[in-house]
Amino acid sequence: MTTVRKILHSGTSRRTILAGLAAIPLGFAAGRPAFAQSQTLTIGILDFLELSLKPVFEAYQAARPGTLIEYSMLPSTGAELRQTLLTRRISGTLPDITYLADIFSTQFAEAGITTDMRAFLTSGGPINEGSFAAPFLGQYLMAGGDLQGGIFGLPYGADTVVIFYNKTHFDAAGLPYPDDTWTFEKQAEVMRALTVKDGAVTTRYGAAINVPWHATYVPGIEARGDTLLNDEGLYKLTTPAAIETFTSLWNLVNEGVLASETQLRQQGGTLGAFTSGTASMFQGVRAHVPSVRAAMTDDWDVALVPTINGVRKTGMGSIAQAITPSGQANNPELAYDFLNWFYSEDGGMKVLTATYGVVPPVTELFDSPIWLDLPGPPYDNRVFSESITFGTMNPTQIPASVQSVVDSQLRVAEEAVTLTGADIATSLAEAEAIINEAMALELAQ
Amino acid sequence: MQRHPFPDRAAALPIAAIQTARPDAASAPSALEIKQARKAVSAFSLLWTLIFVGPNAVLFTIFIVGPILAAFGLSLFQWDLITAPQFIGLDNFAFILQDSRAINSIWRTGYLLVAGVIPTVILAFLLANLINTRFPGYSVFRTFYLLPIVISFVASAVLWRFIYDPRVGALNAILGYFGVEGQNWLQDTFWAMPAVSLVIIWMRLPLAIILYLAALQQISPQQLEAAEIDGATTWQKLRHVILPNVKPVTFLVVVITVNGIIFESFDVIRVMTGGGPLRSTEVLIIYIYEMAFGQLRLGYASALATVLFVIVAALALLFTPPRRRIGARP
C-alpha cells in the first residue's frame, strides 16, 4: 500500500489533510530564512568583469547574510556602454552602482549617471580619499565646471601598461628576457630577431602594440618632452615629439615586425595575437592577466616598458565604479558598506586580486602579499606597482565624443601610412585638423 | 434551381440560418432579410479582419511607423542624449551635402548594392534551375545551399574573417594550390569591398534560390512541353518561357536583396572591417552608427537615416512596377 493510501486509511480525515496542506505556506512564512527580508544591491558591471566579480559578490553575500547582490551586464565597448547607461538613465532603470571607463567620467557626471563620491569618502568609513593612489582617483575628479572638485568614480584597479613576453619564443631564439635596462631601440632590435616571415608575409610578429591607443602614444610623446594638448586644449599631433612617436612605431609596422590595430583586427587584438603565439610580446595591463593565464600554453612573464631617450613613461588608468543617483537615494548605507568591504584587504580586494586581474588601487595594498605573492605566471609582479611611478594618463578633459573621433582618425592615419605608404606627417596633420574641429565644436558648447 | 444570392460561403451562413429557422425552409428570404444578412456578413467579415490584421497593424505602427516618424522629427534637431534637443531645421541635411565622409558612404552603399544584387539574382536563378533539374545528389546540394540561413550574421562574419586571413585563411591556401598569390583581402582598399560583397552574396543566396525554385515549380509543364514540341532549344525555352514566368519573382528577389544588403550588411562589415581600411567599406549604415553612438550626434544620424530611407523607398518603387504590367502576383 502506498504512503498516500496509508495516510488516507489511517483514520485521518480528508479535511485534516487539506488543512495541513493549507498551513504549509504559513509555516514557511513564520520560519522564513533571513534572505526573504534582505536588502538588495543592484550593480551594473562591464561584461568582461563577470568572471572576476562574481566571486567577490558571492563573498560579500556570505559576509553579509540577508544581503543580495543582483548584477547586470553592461557592454564594455565605449559607445555601447555610453548608449546603454544614458538610455537607462532616461528610463529610470540605473543600478545602484555602475561601472564606467575613465573617458566617460565627465560625461556621465554631467548626465547624472554617477554621483559625487565625496559623500561616501567622508562618511566615516575605513575608505576615504587618501586611501587611493592619487593619479587613479584623479581621473574621476572634475577639474572644472559646475561639478568642480567632485569625485565621480572610485578606481577599480591600478592598471599600468607593461610588456607581456613569451619566454618560450625568447628561449628558442636564444635571446635574454626584457629587463629594466631595455631601451626602445633594444626592444625594436629584439622584435626584428623574434619576427618570423614566410616570404613577404609575417607569420609571427615580434610584438603586438596598438599604436592608435592613447596608452601607447601619450607616454611616447611625453617621454620625448612634449604634451598631447596645447594650452587651449587642442591636439598637437604635428610636433616633432608626436611625429617621432608615431614614426618610430609605424616604421616597425611597415617592416612587418610590429602588429598594430590594422593587422590585429583579424587576430582578436593584441591579446589574441599574443595568446595564439602570433606575437612574441604585447603591451597590456593587469586586467589582461586572467585571459592570458587561461589561454596561453607557453611560459610568459612581464617587464617594464622600455625607456625612450632615457625617460620611462607608461600609460595608466582604470575603470571605476560609482554610486548612481538612484543608489544614493534608495540604498546609500548598503552601497557604502559594500564599497568599504570591496576595498578592504580582507574583503573584496583579497577575493578580487586572487583572480589575477587587479592591482589594488588602495595605496597601502601596493605591497600586499594578497596579490604580490600569487603564484606565477606572471612571476615579476612588482613590475605592475613599480610602473605606477612612471605612469601618465590620457588628459581627463578630453570629451568622450571627441575621443571617439581621435580613435577613428588615428586608425585612418595608420591605415593610410601602413597600407598605402602615405607620408606620416601629412596623415597626422589631416587627423589633427579633423580632431581639433570636433574638439572646438565640443568646447564651444 | 434557385440561385443562391451570395456565392460566398461565409456570406451564405446567415441565409442558411434564416432558411432553416423558417417553417418553410425552401422559400426565398425577403429583401429585408437579405439586407440584414448583408449587414451581418459585413460586420462579421470586418470583425475577423480586425482580429487577424489588427495585431500586426498595431505592432507595425508602434515598431516601424512610429520610429520612422520619430527619426524624421529628430533629424531636425541637434541632440546628444545628454542635453536638451535643439531645433536646427534642415541644417543637418545641408551638412550632408558638404560632408565628404557621408558622400563616400553613399557611394560605397551604391557599390555594395551593385556588387551584391546583380550576382545574387543571376546566381540564384542559375542554381535554382540546376536544382530544378533534380540531378543526382541534388537533395544533398539543397541542404548545403540552405546552410547560410541558419548561421547568424555575426557568426558568418567571424567565419569569413578567418577564411580571408592572409596567413592561415583557407582562401589563400586554396589559391596557393593553384599557384595564385593570395591577397591581404580585408586590409586592401581595393579588395576589401569585393571580399565583403562575396560574404553578403553567400548569405542572401539561400532565400533567393528558394523563391526562384518555387516560381520554377509553378511553371506549367504543358508550356515547356509545347515549347519542346515546337522545337525550342534550351536557351529559347529559358528566354521565352521560363524568364517571363519568373519575372515577378525576380523583382521580389531584387527588392528583398536590396533591403537585406542595406541593413544586414552592418553586422558583416562591423565585424570584418569596421568600415576600413581607409573607409573603403564604410557604407551608410556604418556611418550612421558611428555618428549616432560613437559621436552622439543623434540628429545628424537621423538625417542620414532619412536619406537612407528615401534611397531604399525609391529603389523599392523602382523595382516594384504596376501589377498590370506583370500580370501575375509573385
Instruction: Number of A to B CB contacts under 8 A, please give it.
Output: 64
**For residue B277, cis peptide bond before it (omega within 30 degrees of 0):** yes
Supply the pLDDT for residue A2: 43
pLDDT of B48 above 80: yes
Supply the pLDDT for residue A11: 46
- Count of positions (residues) in chain B: 330
The set of cell numbers assigned to A113 is 549617471
Decide if domain A162-317+392-444 falls under CATH 3.40.30.10. Answer: no
The set of cell numbers assigned to B13 is 451562413
Supply the pLDDT for residue B74: 95
Contact B192, A265 (CB under 8 A): no
Quote the minimal CA–CA distance from B308 to chain A in Å.
22
pLDDT of A269 above 50: yes
pTM for the whole thing? 0.79
Query: Above 0.85 for ipTM, yes or no?
Result: no
Contact A337, A97 (CB under 8 A): no
Q: Distance (Å, rounded) from C-alpha B138 to C-alpha B130?
A: 9
Q: Is A438 on the interface with B (CB under 8 A)?
A: yes
Q: For B294, which DSSP code?
A: I
Which whole number is the average pLDDT over B257-286?
Answer: 92
Collect all residues of chain B within an 8 Å Cβ-Cβ radius of residue A405: 295
Q: Is A1 on the interface with B (CB under 8 A)?
A: no
Which whole number is the average pLDDT over B4-9?
Answer: 48
Q: Is A401 on the interface with B (CB under 8 A)?
A: yes
In this complex, do B295 and A438 lie within 8 Å of one another by their Cβ atoms? yes
The closest of A246, A101, A245 to A159, measured between CA atoms, is A101
Collect all residues of chain A within an 8 Å Cβ-Cβ radius of residue B164: 266
In this complex, do A415 and B294 lie within 8 Å of one another by their Cβ atoms? no
Which residues from B are below 8 Å from A when comparing CB atoms? 80-83, 161-162, 164-167, 186-189, 273-274, 276-279, 290, 293-297
Supply the pLDDT for residue B2: 47
Contact B188, A419 (CB under 8 A): yes
Supply the pLDDT for residue A172: 97
pLDDT of B18 above 60: no
In this complex, do A420 and B189 lie within 8 Å of one another by their Cβ atoms? yes
Comparing A34 with A409, which gets the higher pLDDT?
A: A409
In this complex, do B277 and A262 lie within 8 Å of one another by their Cβ atoms? yes
Collect all residues of chain B within an 8 Å Cβ-Cβ radius of residue A435: none
Residue A324 identity (one-letter amino acid):
T
The alpha helices in B133-276, defined as continuous H runs, are: 138-150, 153-163, 170-177, 192-218, 221-229, 234-237, 243-272
Contact B98, B300 (CB under 8 A): no
In this complex, do A404 and B294 lie within 8 Å of one another by their Cβ atoms? yes
Indicate the pLDDT class of residue B322, thresholds 50, 70 and 90: low
Residue A239 identity (one-letter amino acid):
T
Q: Distance (Å, rounded) from C-alpha A311 to C-alpha A405?
A: 29
Comparing A347 with B328, which gets the higher pLDDT?
A: A347
Decide if domain B91-326 falls under CATH 2.60.40.2130. Answer: no
Comparing A34-158+318-366 with A162-317+392-444, is the CATH topology the same? yes
* Residue A30, CA distances (Å) to A27, A34, A36 in order: 5, 11, 11
pLDDT of A73 above 60: yes
> What confidence tens digit (pLDDT) does each residue in A28-68 have?
444 433 333 459 999 999 998 998 899 999 999 999 999 99
> What confidence tens digit (pLDDT) does each residue in A77-116 have?
888 899 899 999 989 999 999 999 988 998 899 999 999 9
Quote the minimal CA–CA distance from B161 to chain A in Å.
7
Which whole number is the average pLDDT over B300-325?
Answer: 83
Domain boundaries, chain A: 34-158+318-366, 162-317+392-444
**Helix/strand/coil for A159:** strand
Comparing A337 with A31, which gets the higher pLDDT?
A: A337
CATH architecture observed for domain A34-158+318-366:
3-Layer(aba) Sandwich (3.40)
In this complex, do B166 and A201 lie within 8 Å of one another by their Cβ atoms? yes
Chain centroid to Cα B268, Å, comes to: 17
pLDDT of B168 above 90: no
CA gyration radius, chain B: 28
pLDDT of A407 above 80: yes
The closest of A134, A137, A135, A129 to A155, measured between CA atoms, is A137
Comparing B7 with B288, which gets the higher pLDDT?
A: B288
Q: Distance (Å, rounded) from C-alpha A80 to C-alpha A94?
A: 15
Supply the pLDDT for residue A23: 46
Quote the minimal CA–CA distance from A242 to chain B in Å.
21
Q: Is A416 on the interface with B (CB under 8 A)?
A: yes
Supply the pLDDT for residue B307: 94
Contact A283, A213 (CB under 8 A): no
Domain boundaries, chain B: 9-74, 91-326
